[in-house]
Structure 1
C-alpha cells in the first residue's frame, strides 16, 4: 500500500506515522527502567564490519546545511502551536547551533496526517572526540501522559542517537512543574529509563510576565521602583529604537563590556550576528537604548507562537543613572505584546524556591542572583520546569560527561 509521506514508515505497533532522517522502517525496543539503554537494531539493518553509521548519517541529513523547505515550515508551525513549543526547537535554532560545532537531526510522529510529537536533536563531540552527546533543548515535544506516543518517540530517538554513535542523551522539556509535579515526573523517568538527577543546560527557573493585560496594567503589576525607573529613563532623555544588522557590532561590544563587568561568559561575536540574521525580522528583534545618540543598553528578543523570550541583554558603563536597561526592556515587552505574544520570558533566575529568592537576593551576587534583583522588578510569575533528564547508552561516556561538565562549571 502506498504511503502519503516519502521517507516515512508506518509502525506495526502504533497508529503513528514515524520518521527519522533515515528512510528505513524501524521501531527499536529500549529496556524500560534500565540505567543503560541498548537499542534493538532491526535484522534488515545489520552493522557490518567497516560500516560507520555516524559518517553516513552526517552526509544524509544536516539541518544546518539544507535549504529551508516545506517540511521545515510544517515543523516550525507545529512547534509554534505546541504547548511545550520553544524557539530552541525551531529549524533556525538548529542552523544557528550548526554554525558553532553542533549538528542536528529531527524525529517526528504523525497521526492522521498531522504532526503530533517530535524532537529536534543536537549532537556534539567533546574531550578530543571521546565524548559524543545528544541534546534536546526544550524537548521532546510529546504528550507525556500518552504512553504509546512517548514510547514510540523515545524509540525513534534511540535509533537516531545510535546512528550518530552518541553515548548519552540529555533532554530538557519545557514542561512546567505546575502541570507536571515532581513526583509524577519522577515516575515517568523511571518508566522510560531516564535519570532526572542531572545537571541542566538551560535555566530551569524563570519569570514569565503576562502580556495579555493592558500596558497600564502590566506596569501596575511591576515593582514600584522598576515602574519609576522606566519613567525616569524617559524624563532623562533616554530613547529606544529598533536596531538592524548594522547595529550588531555595537551590541557585541556592549555584551563584552557587560561580561567583563558582571563576570559571565559571552558568545563569539559571530554568534550574535548569525542569530540575528537567521531570526530577524520575523522572530527576533534588537532594541537599543540611547542618550544623545550614544548607545547605552540593548536587548535581543525572540518570539515563537504567542511566547516571547529575552535571551541576550547588555549595557555600557556610561550614564547608568539614566536607567537605560529598564527603558529597553520595557520597549521589548511592548513590541512582543503588539505582536500578539501572551507571555514574556525573562529567561533565567537562580534555581531556588521563591521564599529563598526573596530572602537572599539583596545579599547575593553569585551566578544568576545579580540579574534576579533586576528581573524581579518587572512583576510576573516565577515558574520552574521539570528540569533535565539523561538517557544513558554507555555508562563510561556518562561518567566522562559528568567529569567534563564538572570542570566547565568550576
Structure 2
C-alpha cells in the first residue's frame, strides 16, 4: 500500500494517539512544546482511502549557522512495525523530511525485541563469568522485531553505536513491571524480600506519600539537586520542570503527576510520573541523603506502581538500564534496584539513523558529543 505523509494538527495527532492502547509520551504533540530548543511537527500517514493510519512527532535540530536539520522522532513513529513493507511506511516519511531540509533522520521504535526476567537477571549477576546482559540468553524473543531489523538494514538505516552518536538518544534497554491481570498482592509477591521489607519499613516509620502540584516543584528541585550532586549527574535547569508540567497537563490533565514522600514533615523522596493510555513511566526521581533508613524511595515507587495499576495501566516503566551485570561496574546498582520490583528487562528495537548528507551527519555527531 502507498501511504501519503503530511503535516497534521495537534488535535488530530492527540485523537490518533488516544485510539491506541499506549503511545510513548515522547510521541505526543505536547512533548514538542517541552523541547522548546527544537522545532517540532506532527505528521500523519494516510492510506489510499484518506484514513489516518499512523502518526509521529518530529523534532528538528539545526546545525549552527545552517538551515538544515536533524529530524528526530523519539520512540516513534507510531506505525505498523510488524509490516513486511516498512519501505512503504518509511519512504514517504524520508521524502517529506528531505523536503523539510533534513540532513539525517533518526527514528526510535519501542517494539520489544527481547526480554529477561528478574530471575534470569539475578542469576547473571551472581555468575562471575557474565558481565553483560546482552550475552545472556533472553526469556523471550520477538520475531517481528527481527524482521523489522532486517528490513531497516536493507533500507540503509543503521543503529547508532553504543554510548556514541547524538546525545539526544533514548535508552534501548529499559526495566518494566507488567501489570496486566495482576493485583497489589500479586505485585508485592513478585518483588524481592528487600523491596517488600523496605515498603513495610517505610509504612511503619510513618512515611506519607502524597501527590503535589506545580507549586511543590521547588521542593522537588531542591532534593533533585542534592541527588545530582550525590550521584554525579548534570541536573536540568529548574524551568524545565514547570514547562513540562504545563505542556503535558494542557494535553491531558492527568498526564503527569508529582509524588512527594515525607517523614515527620521532611521531604525524603520525590518523583515524576507520566502516563499515556495503558503505559506509565517513572520519569524523574530524587531522594534526600538524610533519613535514607526510612526508605522513602521504595514507598514512593510502590505508590506510583499501585496508582498505575488503579489507572488501568498494563505496564509500569522504570526507564533506562545499562547492559552491565558486572559486580565491579558502578552502574550495577541501578539494575539491582529495579530488578527488586520483580519486573523484566526489555530491549527495544531501538533507534536507527538514516544519513541523508553524510558530511553534515558526521559534523552533527561531533557537535552533539562536545555539547554533552
The partner residue of 1:363 within 317, 321, 328 is 328
- The CA deviation string for residues 56-110 of structure 1, in whole angstroms up to 9 with x for no partner, is xxxxx9x8xxxx53x24323314x436xx2111111111211x2x0111122223
Q: Output the CA distance in 1 between the equivalents of 2:311 and 2:341.
A: 19
Mapped partners of 1:343, 1:289: distance in 2: 23
Match of 1:282 in 2: 254
Structure label with greater radius of gyration:
1
Asked whether 1:386 is paired with 2:349, we answer: yes
From 203, 208, 218, the equivalent of 1:234 is: 203
Q: Which residue of 2 aligns with 1:338?
A: 310
Q: Gaps (5+ residues) in structure 2?
A: 114-140
Cα distance 1:383–1:318, how it changes in 2: closer, same or farther (>3 A)? Answer: same
Q: Residue in 1 aligned with 2:31? A: 93
Residue 74 in structure 1 maps to residue 12 in structure 2: no
Q: Given the alignment, which residue of 172, 194, 210 partners 1:204?
A: 172
Which deviations, in whole Å up to 9, do the C-alpha atoms of 1:24-76 show, x marking residues without a partner? xxxxxxxxxxxxxxxxxxxxxxxxxxxxxxxxxxxxx9x8xxxx53x243233
Q: Deviations over 1:299-351 (max 9, x none)?
A: 11111111111110111222111110000111111111110001100101113
State which of 173, 176, 181 in structure 1 corresponds to 2:112.
176
Whose RCO is larger (CA < 8 A, sep 6+)? Answer: 2
Rounded to whole Å, the distance in 2 between the matches of 1:370 and 1:266 is 20
Closer/same/farther in 2, CA of residues 129 and 253 from structure 1, 3 Å limit = farther
In structure 2, do the counterparts of structure 1 residues 394 and 180 end up closer, same or farther at CA, with 3 Å as the change threshold? Answer: farther
Matched, 1:143 2:80: yes
| Rounded Cα–Cα distance in structure 1 between residues aligned with 2:80 and 2:17 | 18
Higher share of residues assigned strand: 2
Q: What residue ranges of structure 1 are gaps of 5+ in the alignment?
A: 1-13, 22-60
The runs of at least 4 consecutive aligned structure 1 residues that moved more than 6 Å come to none
Moved more, 128-137 or 201-210: 128-137
1:217 maps to which of 186, 189, 205: 186
CA contact (8 A) 2:149 2:349 kept: no
Pick from 108, 125, 148 the counterpart of residue 62 of structure 2.
125
Q: Does 1:377 align with 2:346?
A: no
- 1:104–1:123: 8 Å Cα contact kept in structure 2? yes
Q: 1:403 aligned to 326, 341, 366, which one?
A: 366
Identify the residue that residue 132 of structure 2 maps to in structure 1.
none
| Deviation of the 1:206 alpha carbon | 1.1
Per the TM alignment, residue 164 of structure 1 is displaced from its structure 2 partner at its CA by 3.0
Question: Structure 2 vs 1, CA of residues 134 and 180 (structure 1 numbering), >3 Å: closer, same or farther?
Answer: farther
Is the counterpart of residue 327 in structure 1 residue 299 in structure 2? yes
How far apart, CA to CA, are the structure 2 residues paired with 1:185 and 1:155?
14
TM-score (norm 2): 0.83
**C-alpha distance in structure 1 between counterparts of 2:328 and 2:108, whole Å:** 30
- 1:243 is matched with which residue? 212
Contact 1:131 1:400 survives alignment (8 Å): no
